[in-house]
Structure 1
């Protein structure tokens, strides 16, 4: 018991200058919680019979401060992406342009006309924000921004096909990351799935037969954004599906997913269908992501016929999945880059896709020279983010032949600003394509500390 009696009381600890400083930094109530926890742990250690000495006041308060720091350390933190995967879903997908960040900060730092009509001086609608930009950019009659593309598809089906049949090809009953399955989304929306064709072969006749036999609300197509079906395969062009659908007097909804507004083939990649092409092919409603190849903040974007978008905007679910002011400000700023023809110069995703291979090699060589370690080797970057499956871009990697590569990756992840790299041929490799040039000094400084 004597040892327990030697543990200082909470009140006496709170009177110290160190505790008062901690109280000013963290707040009295949080300090009390942490301090009591430290003392409880100390009492438990003494009562367990362990041979320990009672720490002095400063040690107790130092332990308490470490607890407070741990409690308040953000779980969401910036990392350096050296994997070469441009749209890395686990690392937040698309980084944002400087102008997009400025627009979002301006919207967050003050009041805005989010739902206020400045001309009329009365309540307005948030759905108007970004709509005109999307109309001008794509040629669509109407547009709506929601919080992500899964929500966009759910909303469209709920508004246009609840309790009714929706025709879709077997080959397009896809599952993407996070367990998002088209059949599940259709079920939750209240739509009734009618699958046509087979897994590997679908013909226009399959759609024609289903439209004759079934009383449907619409036809849905889903882009193969994160997988390929190869070999003995057939699938009609979107324009062919549109013609059959329109002959039956029904709308065609296209879940495009990736949201490409530029031709990826220009940059040595397989052509990814663009939003503009889907509209020209006859899709009446198109859903796509804001944070994939569009390169903006997370959002789901719906464009298409005004009469169908009016129904979608009026549906009760539209309020539940609506975009907030930061998203609307960010999407608008990102779209302006495309309208001004500066996406490859300003949108980080497209800057990374379009960067010259020689420039990447030069940076990798600079890293090696500064470290005086490793070698520069040829490699491949990936677009990622459920876009362009199996497509890669030639790149140059800094390869470090370290012992215990997985342990080295763990050390990189534990840095104050974590670095995420990968292992290739038992070496830890770093791809400059996805590392911002301004991060180069930190990468070199961090590696110097970890390398032998």
Structure 2
């Protein structure tokens, strides 16, 4: 009768040379916890009669412990290749920061900074002052303040300016965006009452005018950046709503959502209203995001009249929603790129990706197609193909950009698009595409030359089809 394999003790293994490197790299407590986990699994195999003696050798156990430790200590937040065709992909982190912005953030991470210290007089400063001059210069606003995202900006603005009062909004602008963020819900949380005017597709100036009462706190416009109503429609321009508000001695607020600081059409892109135009149209307060069309870090920017911004900054929620030095460092460095419009399309990553010529992506697709075909084998047909990219994150929802990429189409009955997506997600740097029309589409708009070598180098590592 063959004797059962003997599983070494924890103490014996911890003294064994096979585990010494793991103790040095991960520490005794982490290595011991992983070792106990592996030994528990081996005992279960022993009880079921499936354990072999080879699996109980210290070297074999050390290999399993190393795998367990690598899984446990692997970062959960990791870089991926965004080949979805959506440039500002909310689930993939939205705007990418330029290298010079990253360097400023790294400096802020490793050095004390004058976050709330006035270098002129040595007293306490206001962290908003680090960027407000730049923001006002680029938007034409009198004042500005910063919070951690645009949802927070809307919540804070309504809480500071309309708590206990009524806010008049067109029914066609009562948006819901990702994460079930709804304008009516935010109003309720801010302590104000929603007054809908008009219908889903048509709202007129007299609808706003009739809704104004002694209880009205402000009129509000919400930029419908994540959908479009087409056909038999009417909406009221910002300038006209602002005029109605001012005639009643009320402020007019615009939630601009994405918020661009430049004329997108000047770069051959679909037009989008700018923050400066909205301010010039008479809006008293405008809120917008930092990590969408602006191309910077996640933040919510609130700009407008000096007296109203001062009220917003005094609200108790402002401290809860404020941003830290890393966001401010990234935002300041991003805004400074806008001071050099002649190089903005090259230096601002988001704008560079938006304006990338389809011809460059086409050449890239033809170069990559045979390499990917070799990696995937005869089960797949890899074909360079024209595609349509989108800006993403709710910006310009009905507009798209000419693009080019690779279609990966099943060429055998065993090939599965769903399984291929899973295989590509298991790569050292996961590849994320989009399933469409029975194929996996890899849009190359966001695969710049600097990353192409890394993409190619891991193609032989694509897990085998199961």
For normalisation by structure 1, the TM-score amounts to 0.95
Q: 1:51-100: per-residue Cα shift (whole Å, max 9, x none)?
A: 32351122222211111111111111000111221111111111111111
- Contact persistence 1:84–1:434 (CA under 8 A): yes
Q: 1:265-292: per-residue Cα shift (whole Å, max 9, x none)?
A: 3344432111111101111111000000
Q: 1:214-253: per-residue Cα shift (whole Å, max 9, x none)?
A: 5211111110010011122111011111110111101111
Per-residue deviation, 1:370: 5.0
Aligned equivalent of 2:379:
none
Secondary structure, counterpart of 1:391 in structure 2 = coil
Aligned residue among 418, 426, 442 for 1:406? 418
Aligned equivalent of 2:219:
219
Q: 1:280-308: per-residue Cα shift (whole Å, max 9, x none)?
A: 11111110000000000111101111101
Question: Is 2:119 aligned against 1:152?
Answer: no
Q: 1:114-159: per-residue Cα shift (whole Å, max 9, x none)?
A: 1111111122121212111101111111111111111111111111
Aligned equivalent of 2:137:
136
Cα separation, 2, equivalents of 1:111 and 1:206: 53
Aligned equivalent of 2:104:
103
- Contact persistence 1:4–1:43 (CA under 8 A): no
Cα separation, 2, equivalents of 1:241 and 1:3: 87
Cα separation, 2, equivalents of 1:41 and 1:365: 48
Aligned equivalent of 1:53:
52
Q: 1:6-28: per-residue Cα shift (whole Å, max 9, x none)?
A: 32221111112232321211111
Question: Is 2:184 aligned against 1:172?
Answer: no
CA RMSD of aligned residues (A): 2.0
- Contact persistence 2:5–2:52 (CA under 8 A): no
Q: Would the alpha carbon gap of residues 8 and 234 (structure 1) be closer, same or farther in structure 2, given more than 3 Å must change?
A: same
- Contact persistence 2:108–2:326 (CA under 8 A): yes
Aligned equivalent of 1:425:
437
Aligned equivalent of 1:76:
77
Aligned equivalent of 1:275:
275
Per-residue deviation, 1:449: 5.0
Aligned equivalent of 1:434:
446
- Contact persistence 2:296–2:331 (CA under 8 A): yes
Secondary structure, counterpart of 2:201 in structure 1 = coil
Secondary structure, counterpart of 1:388 in structure 2 = coil
Q: Would the alpha carbon gap of residues 3 and 325 (structure 1) be closer, same or farther in structure 2, given more than 3 Å must change?
A: farther
Cα separation, 1, equivalents of 2:96 and 2:166: 39
Aligned equivalent of 1:12:
12
Cα separation, 1, equivalents of 2:33 and 2:18: 16
**Segments of 4+ in structure 1 off by > 6 A?**
2-5
Secondary structure, counterpart of 1:401 in structure 2 = strand
Per-residue deviation, 1:318: 0.5
Secondary structure, counterpart of 1:218 in structure 2 = strand
The number of equivalent residue pairs is 449
Question: Is 2:295 aligned against 1:295?
Answer: yes
Cα separation, 2, equivalents of 1:414 and 1:95: 23
Cα separation, 2, equivalents of 1:169 and 1:384: 24
Cα separation, 2, equivalents of 1:249 and 1:12: 81
Per-residue deviation, 1:371: 5.1
Q: Would the alpha carbon gap of residues 163 and 66 (structure 1) be closer, same or farther in structure 2, given more than 3 Å must change?
A: same
Cα separation, 1, equivalents of 2:386 and 2:430: 24
Q: 1:360-385: per-residue Cα shift (whole Å, max 9, x none)?
A: 22222222355577332222111111
Secondary structure, counterpart of 1:389 in structure 2 = coil
Secondary structure, counterpart of 1:434 in structure 2 = coil
Secondary structure, counterpart of 1:39 in structure 2 = helix
Cα separation, 2, equivalents of 1:144 and 1:95: 23
Show structure 1 runs of 5+ residues with no match.
Answer: none
Aligned equivalent of 2:95:
94
- Contact persistence 1:170–1:195 (CA under 8 A): yes
Secondary structure, counterpart of 1:122 in structure 2 = coil
- Contact persistence 1:377–1:399 (CA under 8 A): yes
- Contact persistence 1:268–1:393 (CA under 8 A): no
Aligned equivalent of 1:307:
307
Secondary structure, counterpart of 2:51 in structure 1 = coil
Cα separation, 2, equivalents of 1:372 and 1:59: 36
Aligned equivalent of 2:387:
379
Question: Is 2:235 aligned against 1:235?
Answer: yes
